[in-house]
Amino acid sequence: MLYVDLKITDPKVFSNIISSDFNKKVGGNLPKIASKVKPQVSKIISDALYSSPTTQSLLSGSLRDDFGLYGNVANITINNIIKHFSENIELNIKSGGKNMAAVILIDVMPSNFETVAKLPVGYFLSSKQRPVPWLDWLITKGTQVVVGDFWMYDNAKGRTRSGGNKVMIPIGRKAKEPFRVDPSHAGTIDDNFITRALDPVADDIIRIIAAEFIRSA
């Protein structure tokens, strides 16, 4: 699961609603608050993911060639990832401790990354009927070798699957590195292009939710 665990320490943020019955007043409104903020949070998530350098590389850059993506595959996959996030936002709130107004837990994805990695659109068969689980490679395998007997050749002639000029060919007796995801885009369960895209917008998400808390109290 991906959680944004935020501790509100500035009393000014909730100056109009902090009181002894804070949870009682706001807790019952959580479903309503979640419903109201969902479109805004969804847009933030969508914009962040589409702006990710990794997403752009999947759509029209080196990753598109590396993975042999074709047609609308990458775009459909990104849309499915965004749908996973935007349709499953859960909020939880509990009273804070010393010097803390409240603790808000925002679960913006109740399914784990192994589930996302297995999305049908994140998988295809190569021209030789070899499985290419490219999304799983991208967000779970880091920089480990994922195809040990092939390497990327970047001067391909003619038409390639992705429309670029790189193809994956057997290493044979060549002194070549086996295929792995580009380190600048590689990810693991805990650190991948999705988490990296959302980290910078966590404050924007909490500001939207805090404003709705104030209106609802």
pLDDT tens readout for residues 155-191: 877 778 888 888 888 898 888 999 999 999 999 988 9
- Distance, C-alpha 173 to centroid of its chain: 38
- Could you tell me the pTM of the whole model? 0.78
Tokens of 123: 């998988």
Tokens of 67: 């993975």
pLDDT tens readout for residues 10-46: 555 554 445 545 656 666 677 777 788 888 888 998 8
pLDDT of 10 reads 54
Cβ atoms of 41 and 89 within 8 Å: the answer is yes
pLDDT of 51 reads 94
> What is the average pLDDT across 94-117?
66
Does the pLDDT value for residue 138 go beyond 90? Answer: yes
3-class secondary structure for the chain? Answer: CEEEEEEECCCCCCCCCCCCCHHHHHHCCHHHHHHHHHHHHHHHHHHHHHHCHHHHHHHHCHHHHHHCCCCCHHHHHHHHHHHHHHCCCEEEEEECCCCCCEEEEEEEECCCHHHHHCCHHHCEECCCCCEECHHHHHHHCCCCCCECCEEEECCCCCCCCCCCCCEEEECCCCCCCCECCCCCCCCCCCCCHHHHHHHHHHHHHHHHHHHHHHHHC
The Cα–Cα gap between 210 and 8 comes to 9
pLDDT tens readout for residues 57-98: 999 999 999 998 988 888 998 888 888 777 777 766 665 555
Choose among 93, 117, 121, 108: nearest CA to 198.
Answer: 108
Q: In angstroms, how far is the first alpha carbon of the chain from the final one?
A: 29
